[in-house]
């Protein structure tokens, strides 16, 4: 389509939003874009419809078909309501659980969703205020709902919001329900199809009781209460980074027995503007800087953080020189699973059916730990809905120990089916107390894990390409890597390629091709080298970026050589990125 044709198409589409069936504020915003000399904002707002994908909606807030607003959220909710009424036609009363984070318009969108569900005869349990995403997953199961919605854009910049849809097991939907929901949502082609007038009798406000039940169940995850009792005064800095974590995590830490939790007062303020950070993402050092400063000021042992919807955990530990080091997502998952496996062995709790789960882009060190302890380790696609799928397939026959992904998400319990920073932060602080019992801090414990199971180092790099042209560029990059795979990376020959788009694993030395055992396909490429390195490449499903995940192996001859080994591994990663043409 030519530029002129695209602009004419966009203008025609936008003019339909000037109809009186759209509210006055929306019409004014659209008219301003139509009148502006620079038509870029208009094109970005209307060149496509905001896609309801397998994870729901996520986009920039504003007027337009490609934006998060009451009409795109309304269409998503109406489509989901229609599907629920067909899927559960035999139930006398369908029910859903609805929650939201702290973002601008989140409460508005959550209340809108509740109104539309109720207008369709569906019972709604609506949280009285913002809550962590994992609590909505918990609420769906706890209240016996058939579905649920969380209004959140996780750790995206402040301009974004999102809409995550869940099924009756508390997990984000997979086939067939994701595909069917998308079909029903896409069938909503007019505002007139959306039932906006609520039935208030079907909306029940919930809050404190579910909070208490959730935190009570989380407390049952504790494996070392005696260690906490001995180190209850351990200085712990926690920051919610302006998000929902402040609703429950302080309370959870107190219930677990920690009584010296230090606040970062400026970041306790709940705000969708995230005023103290550039991006509210705990994997970024910048977002953790105020908490680290507070740790230096107070001499804290551990720094923990949660993102705006409190499903991701950030972690900072103090090294031997007293410096505070950011722990990456792979290391966080590794620490959790090392502890859970080791502690279960110590307590004699293993019955032979235990398993753990990691995503395909997460460190292979986890599999080494699991294999050494005769624990089955499942690989799955990126996204906690796939970890939840493994749990669902095993819940009658095997015992879940934990699962996580490199993007700072971990789930220690099976009564929630999404990543959970409430339980993760509580458990990580217990691990710090357990390590202290052994005369270590978390930094020293991490080095010991590497010494025992082999050293690896990971780095994630995201290349951002926003807008229509960006999406096309990302698509072209993936095609190029498929048609022209690298022959060597970081000085080591590439020996195998896994392409999850056709589920083929190709041995480049023998030419042998094996099928990968996965429930569906995914746009992910992986390259493996003779040295034992792994490179994964995939477009993000929620953000305008392409992601590169690099994992390298190095020999660490002695724990005292840890920092030197890290430096060597980082240089190795730099060489691989240069070979990939990534800056």
Burial of 380 (0-12, 13-18, 19+ CB in 10 A): buried
Q: Please write the tens of the pLDDT for every residue from 411-465.
A: 999 999 999 999 999 999 999 999 999 999 999 999 999 999 999 999 999 998 8
Give yes or no for residue 324 having a pLDDT over 70.
yes
List residues bridging with 53 in a β-sheet.
56
Give yes or no for residue 11 having a pLDDT over 60.
yes
Angle between helices 208-219 and 133-142 (to 10 degrees): 100
Domain count, the chain: 4
> Cα–Cα distance between 127 and 109 in angstroms, integer?
13
Q: Please write the tens of the pLDDT for every residue from 269-304.
A: 999 999 999 999 999 999 999 999 999 999 999 999
Domain assignment present for residue 497? The answer is yes
Q: Which helix (H) or strand (E) holds 33?
A: helix 24-35
Give yes or no for residue 259 having a pLDDT over 80.
yes
> Cα–Cα distance between 362 and 24 in angstroms, integer?
48
Residue 197 pLDDT: 97
Q: Are residues 184 and 294 in the same domain?
A: no
Q: Confidence class of residue 391 from pLDDT cuts 50, 70 and 90?
A: very high
Domain of 246 in residue numbering reads as 234-453
Q: Confidence class of residue 541 from pLDDT cuts 50, 70 and 90?
A: confident
Q: Confidence class of residue 512 from pLDDT cuts 50, 70 and 90?
A: very high
Q: Confidence class of residue 82 from pLDDT cuts 50, 70 and 90?
A: very high
Give yes or no for residue 155 having a pLDDT over 80.
yes
Q: Please write the tens of the pLDDT for every residue from 228-241.
A: 999 999 999 999 99
Mean pLDDT of 51-60: 88
Domain assignment present for residue 282? The answer is yes
Asked which of 26-40, 168-182, 469-483, 503-517 is least confident by mean pLDDT, the reply is: 469-483
Mean pLDDT of 7-26: 96
List residues bridging with 126 in a β-sheet.
98, 205
Please give the residue that has the higher pLDDT: either 4 or 134: 134
What mean pLDDT, rounded, does the chain reach? 96
Q: Are residues 406 and 464 in the same domain?
A: no
Q: Confidence class of residue 467 from pLDDT cuts 50, 70 and 90?
A: confident
Q: Among the three residues 32, 47, 62, which one is the final residue of a domain in this structure?
A: 47
> Cα–Cα distance between 386 and 417 in angstroms, integer?
10
Please give the residue that has the higher pLDDT: either 286 or 544: 286
Domain assignment present for residue 4? The answer is yes
Q: Are residues 421 and 487 in the same domain?
A: no
Percent of the chain with pLDDT over 90: 93
Domain assignment present for residue 229? The answer is no
> Cα–Cα distance between 492 and 535 in angstroms, integer?
12
Give yes or no for residue 164 having a pLDDT over 60.
yes
Domain assignment present for residue 217? The answer is no
Structure tokens at 17: 């939003």
Q: Among the three residues 211, 245, 270, which one is the final residue of a domain in this structure?
A: 211
Q: Are residues 354 and 393 in the same domain?
A: yes
> Cα–Cα distance between 115 and 130 in angstroms, integer?
17
Give yes or no for residue 1 having a pLDDT over 60.
no
Q: Are residues 180 and 62 in the same domain?
A: yes
Q: Are residues 188 and 137 in the same domain?
A: yes
Q: Are residues 89 and 158 in the same domain?
A: yes
Would you say the C-alpha torsion 253, 255, 259, 262 has a positive or negative sign?
A: positive
Would you say the C-alpha torsion 428, 433, 435, 436 has a positive or negative sign?
A: positive
Q: Are residues 435 and 548 in the same domain?
A: no
Domain with residue 243: its CATH number is: 3.40.120.10
Q: Among the three residues 47, 68, 85, which one is the final residue of a domain in this structure?
A: 47
Give yes or no for residue 557 having a pLDDT over 90.
no
- Catalytic residues, by residue number, are 154
Q: Are residues 407 and 495 in the same domain?
A: no
Q: Are residues 92 and 188 in the same domain?
A: yes
Residue 320 pLDDT: 83
Give yes or no for residue 54 having a pLDDT over 90.
no
Domain with residue 492: its CATH number is: 3.30.310
Domain assignment present for residue 216? The answer is no
Residue 471 pLDDT: 85
Q: Are residues 175 and 281 in the same domain?
A: no
How many other CB atoms are found less than 10 A from the CB of residue 233? 9
Domain assignment present for residue 220? The answer is no
Domain assignment present for residue 495? The answer is yes
Q: Are residues 340 and 398 in the same domain?
A: yes
Asked which of 344-353, 395-404, 454-463, 535-544 is least confident by mean pLDDT, the reply is: 535-544
């Amino acid at each position: 389509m030519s530029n002129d044709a695209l602009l004419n198409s966009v203008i025609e589409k936008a003019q339909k939003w000037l109809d009186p069936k759209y509210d006055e504020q929306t019409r004014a915003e659209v008219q301003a874009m139509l009148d502006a000399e620079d038509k870029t904002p208009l094109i970005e707002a209307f060149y496509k419809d905001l896609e309801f994908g397998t994870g729901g909606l996520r986009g920039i807030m504003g007027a337009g078909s490609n934006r998060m607003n009451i009409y795109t959220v309304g269409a998503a909710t109406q489509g989901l309501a229609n599907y629920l009424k067909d899927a559960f036609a035999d139930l006398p009363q369908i029910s859903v659980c609805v929650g939201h984070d702290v973002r601008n318009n989140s409460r508005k969108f959550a209340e809108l969703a509740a109104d539309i569900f109720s207008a369709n005869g569906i019972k709604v349990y609506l949280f009285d205020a913002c809550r962590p995403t994992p609590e909505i997953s918990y609420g769906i199961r706890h209240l016996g709902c058939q579905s649920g919605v969380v209004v959140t854009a996780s750790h995206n910049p402040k301009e974004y919001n999102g809409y995550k849809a869940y099924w009756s097991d508390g997990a984000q939907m997979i086939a067939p329900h994701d595909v069917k929901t998308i079909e029903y949502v896409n069938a909503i082609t007019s505002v007139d199809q959306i039932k906006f007038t609520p039935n208030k009798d079907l909306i029940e406000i919930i809050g404190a009781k579910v909070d208490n039940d959730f935190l009570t169940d989380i407390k049952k995850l504790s494996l070392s209460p005696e260690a906490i009792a001995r180190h209850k005064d351990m200085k712990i800095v926690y920051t919610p980074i302006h998000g929902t974590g402040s609703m429950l995590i302080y309370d959870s830490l107190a219930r677990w027995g920690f009584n010296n939790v230090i606040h970062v007062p400026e970041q306790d303020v709940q705000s969708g503007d995230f005023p103290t950070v550039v991006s509210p993402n705990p994997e970024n050092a910048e977002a953790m800087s105020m908490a680290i400063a507070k740790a230096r000021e107070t001499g804290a042992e551990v720094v923990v953080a949660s993102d705006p919807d409190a499903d991701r955990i950030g972690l900072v530990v103090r090294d031997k020189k007293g410096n505070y080091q950011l722990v990456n997502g792979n290391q966080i998952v590794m620490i959790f699973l090392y502890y859970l496996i080791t502690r279960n062995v110590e307590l004699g709790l293993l019955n032979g059916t235990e398993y753990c789960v990691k995503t395909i882009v997460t460190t292979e060190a986890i599999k080494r730990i699991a294999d050494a302890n005769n624990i089955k380790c499942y690989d799955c696609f990126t996204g906690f809905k796939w970890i939840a799928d493994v749990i669902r397939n095993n819940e009658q026959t095997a015992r879940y120990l934990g699962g996580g992904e490199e993007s700072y998400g971990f789930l220690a319990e099976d009564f929630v089916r999404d990543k959970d920073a409430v339980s993760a932060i509580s458990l990580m602080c217990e691990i710090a107390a357990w390590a202290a019992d052994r005369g270590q801090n978390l930094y020293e414990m991490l080095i010991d894990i590497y010494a025992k199971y082999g050293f690896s180092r990971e780095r994630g790099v995201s290349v951002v390409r926003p807008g229509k042209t960006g999406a096309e560029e990302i698509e072209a990059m993936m095609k190029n890597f498929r048609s022209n795979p690298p022959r060597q990376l970081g000085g080591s020959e590439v020996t195998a390629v896994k392409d999850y788009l056709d589920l083929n694993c190709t041995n480049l030395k023998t030419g042998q091709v094996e099928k990968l055992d996965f429930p569906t396909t995914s746009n992910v490429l992986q390259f493996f080298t003779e040295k034992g390195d792994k490179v994964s490449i995939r477009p993000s499903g929620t953000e305008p970026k392409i992601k590169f995940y690099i994992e390298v192996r190095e020999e660490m001859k002695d724990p005292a050589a840890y920092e030197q080994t890290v430096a060597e591994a980082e240089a190795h990663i730099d060489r691989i990125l240069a070979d990939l043409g990534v800056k």
